[in-house]
């Protein structure tokens, strides 16, 4: 039996700005779900939808660091980007204290 198994890129909310977090909570424009410790952001698999997402993020004012996290998720064939307050921090990515 074939099972559907998806990949998720999980990282600390410290890798996004406070403004990014506020935009995620206020916007219906980005496909995301908020939970107690962070957010899940859907990463489209098709190129047109993915490019549209990046365009919306850019025009809505998300930081280049937030957009980079989406790019990392896409490059690694992830279905979701998970931002979690207890998620892993990566030394090659900027961190923000908020």
Calpha distance 86→14 (Å, rounded): 9
pTM, full prediction = 0.93
Spatial distance between the Cα atoms of 39 and 37, rounded to a whole number of angstroms: 7
Query: What is the model's pLDDT at position 49?
Result: 97
Considering Cα of 37, then 20, then 24, then 41, what sign does the dihedral take?
Answer: negative
- The CA distance from 96 to 89, in Å, is 11
> Residue 98 has what pLDDT?
86
Quick one: pLDDT at residue 29?
Answer: 85
By percentage, how much of the chain surpasses pLDDT 70? 100
Q: What are 10-55's pLDDT values in tens digits?
A: 999 999 999 999 999 998 889 999 999 999 999 999 999 999 999 9
Averaged pLDDT of the chain: 96
């Amino acid at each position: 039996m074939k099972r559907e198994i998806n990949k998720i890129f999980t990282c600390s909310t410290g890798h996004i700005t406070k403004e990014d977090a506020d935009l995620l909570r206020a916007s219906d424009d980005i496909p995301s779900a908020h939970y107690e410790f962070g957010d899940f952001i859907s990463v489209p698999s098709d190129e047109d939808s993915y490019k549209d997402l990046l365009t919306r993020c850019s025009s809505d004012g998300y930081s280049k660091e937030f957009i980079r996290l989406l790019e990392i998720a896409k490059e690694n064939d992830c279905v979701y980007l998970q931002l979690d307050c207890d998620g892993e921090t990566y030394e090659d990515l900027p961190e923000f204290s908020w």
